[in-house]
Structure 1
């Protein structure tokens, strides 16, 4: 499959079958995140693979957006291992893990695993409940699994602005 076709076909799954994804598929997804570029190659990402009933219950307490996914990746970064950009206003943490997460979302599609980016949760509460280290900051979660038979992309998924509305040449 051409990369552009993979990008066009990937959508946020909102209704998962409860069947667990295969270890080989998960390994490929995690490797794609591991090879994602990060500022100064700091590799500050911290990925927590949530699959146990106990941990999934914590996810369900913090968001309605698990959609029955059997695996959830909690994506965080080490605040002590970021690159600070010139001017000192920003660091690379959010950017780095967003690139990592994007690689994992596309890798999941490439191996036939459906996914959904989740940001509807309080990161501080989730961090506390999962007992993550103080120096880590949660940015997002990714639901992983196989779409249920009745699942379809949301109607607005296929609506895209014309490229002239989002891209400028100067």
Structure 2
């Protein structure tokens, strides 16, 4: 499959099968994440795989949507702020670095026949209360991951001349 075909295949899944994700596929996805680039190669991130029922229920308190509850597992993607690179003008790159790594995660999952969805609109403070995070660690993105029970909808994208000069 070409990279363009992979990118077109990836979508925000909002319904998952009850089927568990095989450990080999999860390991592959996380190995792809491990090789994601970051500013000055700081790799200012931490990824927590949430599989057990008690932790899944806790995480579901942080984002209360019926579709989110259908995922068989989740990955909490966090920024380690004391490890992120800061440009001379004060621009922190942790958000950029975590975004690159998370998209590696989503594309690798798609390649493995899995589905994902970026969830950024969650209660990060509640997440910090329910899970143990380092003082410098900020949960930034939740990724439900599993086998899709829905189908991708047509992607609406701007025309090339609207995004490229």
Q: Does the 8 Å contact 2:44/2:83 carry over to 1?
A: yes
The answer to whether the Cα contact below 8 Å between 1:75 and 1:139 also exists between their aligned partners in 2 is yes
- The aligned residue for residue 151 of structure 2 is 152
Q: How does 1:126-165 map to 2 (within 5 A)?
A: 126-148=127-149, 151-154=150-153, 157-165=154-162
Q: Distance in 2 between matches of 1:55 and 1:160?
A: 36
Q: CA RMSD, aligned part only?
A: 1.1
CA–CA distance in 1 between the matches of 2:101 and 2:61? Answer: 25
Contact 1:123 1:139 in 2 (8 A): yes
Task: Give the alignment's TM-score, normalised by structure 1.
Answer: 0.92
| Other-structure match for 2:22 | 22
Map Cα deviations across residues 119-141 of structure 1 (whole Å, 9 max, x no partner): 12121221221121111011101
Point out 4+ residue stretches in structure 1 off by more than 2 angstroms.
Answer: none
**In the TM superposition, what is the alpha-carbon distance from 1:18 to its structure 2 partner?**
1.3
Partner in structure 2 of residue 111 of structure 1: 112
For 2:129 and 2:7, how far apart are their aligned partners in 1?
34
Deviations 1:123-160 (A, max 9, x none): 12212211211110111011100012xx1224xx4211
| Aligned-residue offset at 1:67 | 4.1
Q: Which residue of 2 aligns with 1:102?
A: 103
Secondary structure of the structure 2 residue equivalent to 1:117: coil
Contact 1:12 1:115 in 2 (8 A): yes
Contact 1:74 1:142 in 2 (8 A): yes
CA–CA distance in structure 2, aligned partners of residues 120 and 87 of structure 1: 28
Aligned to 1:83: 85
**TM-score, normalisation: structure 2:** 0.94
Query: 1:83-133: CA deviations, max 9, x gaps?
Result: 111211x21111111100000100000111111111121212212211211
Deviations 1:52-87 (A, max 9, x none): 101100111111342411110000011111111121
Task: Give the secondary structure class of the aligned counterpart of 2:102.
Answer: helix
